[in-house]
Amino acid sequence: MDPEFDDADDDTVATVTPLPTATLRTDPRRTARVERVRMSGQQRREQLLNVGRKLFAEKGFEAVSVEEIAAKAGVSKPVVYEHFGGKEGLYAVLVDREMTYLLASIADALGDANEPGTPHANARTLLERAGMALFDYIDRYPDGFRILVRDTPAVRDPEAQSETRGGTFAGLLVDVAARVDDLLATQFRAHKLNPKWAPLYSQMLIGMVAQTGQWWLDVRKPKKEEVVAHLVNLAWNGLHNLEAKPPAVVSRKG
């Protein structure tokens, strides 16, 4: 019998703690107890996702093969195909989970801004909350963030809770910025500024925070609370002194 196929239905390998939902996470820094047991289909799926997350974060999508995923998980290639149809399907599920989790974290941080009957946080507090939500995610789930910030192929998870775009991180920033648009538009109107520019400023703000997050992921200094404080300092003082009609920049012609 071909050894590549002789354990296609064998679900006996090391266990890992499954993720009950897309927004409930198992801390990857915790070491799971390893023992030989028969896994359920859901446990196998979660194990493959955990293996794939680490490999994709370290090497990127193109450098990882189905053979490597299977070998790291201790199963044959057909098991990977059975659960995900290939590495593209596994990758798409990972991307959707990470995007869903991060967006939910930011939405929770900004949640009371649109809740009727609750006191609204001021704009500076909302900036601080959004910044900390992103940096908390980077700190706790660095592999997930590394997957999101890589240049990625256009993949689609049929079970996805949100659309998965090619160029994942750019797509993520669009989603996050969209959540900030309404908040900024409200503040613009309150300060007699044209709210039509709110989408532009939300893109700039989110881009600034995300780019700083990529840098901090590798250096981890200073503390994330200090980084967010300086980000908010720059963003808030810039927003606080916005000109209603900034003069156009004149391009220099050679």
Q: What's the pLDDT tens digit per position in 182-219?
A: 777 887 887 788 889 988 888 888 888 888 999 999 99
CA–CA separation, 91 and 57 (whole Å): 11
Residue 17: pLDDT band with limits 50, 70, 90? very low
Give the pLDDT confidence score for residue 153 in this predicted structure.
59
Q: What is the mean pLDDT of the chain?
A: 77
Give the pLDDT confidence score for residue 228 in this predicted structure.
94
Which residue did the predictor score with more confidence, 37 or 117? 37
CA angle 153, 134, 223 (to 5 degrees): 125
CA–CA separation, 160 and 97 (whole Å): 8
Q: Which residues pair with 38 in a beta bridge?
A: 12
Task: Report whether pLDDT(80) > 70.
Answer: yes
Residue 121: pLDDT band with limits 50, 70, 90? low
What would the CATH number be for the domain defined by 94-240? Answer: 1.10.357.10
Which residue did the predictor score with more confidence, 121 or 177? 177
Q: Does domain 12-84 have CATH number 3.20.20.450?
A: no
Task: Report whether pLDDT(24) > 70.
Answer: no
> For residue 222, is the peptide bond before it cis, meaning its omega torsion is within 30 degrees of 0?
yes
Task: Give the DSSP H/E element, type plus range, for residue 66.
Answer: helix 66-73
Give the pLDDT confidence score for residue 166 in this predicted structure.
45
CA–CA separation, 19 and 26 (whole Å): 6
pLDDT in tens, 231-242: 999 988 887 788
Residues in the chain: 254
Mean pLDDT of 27-32: 47
11 near 38, Cβ under 8 Å? yes
Give the pLDDT confidence score for residue 159 in this predicted structure.
52
Task: Report whether pLDDT(2) > 90.
Answer: no
92 near 159, Cβ under 8 Å? no
Phi, psi of 48, deg, nearest 5: -65, -40
CA–CA separation, 44 and 8 (whole Å): 12
Q: Which residues pair with 13 in a beta bridge?
A: 37
> How is the chain split into domains, by residue range?
12-84, 94-240
CA distances for 177 relative to 171, 183, 196, 235, angstroms = 10, 10, 14, 15
Statement: the pTM of the whole predicted model exceeds 0.75: no
CA–CA separation, 213 and 131 (whole Å): 9
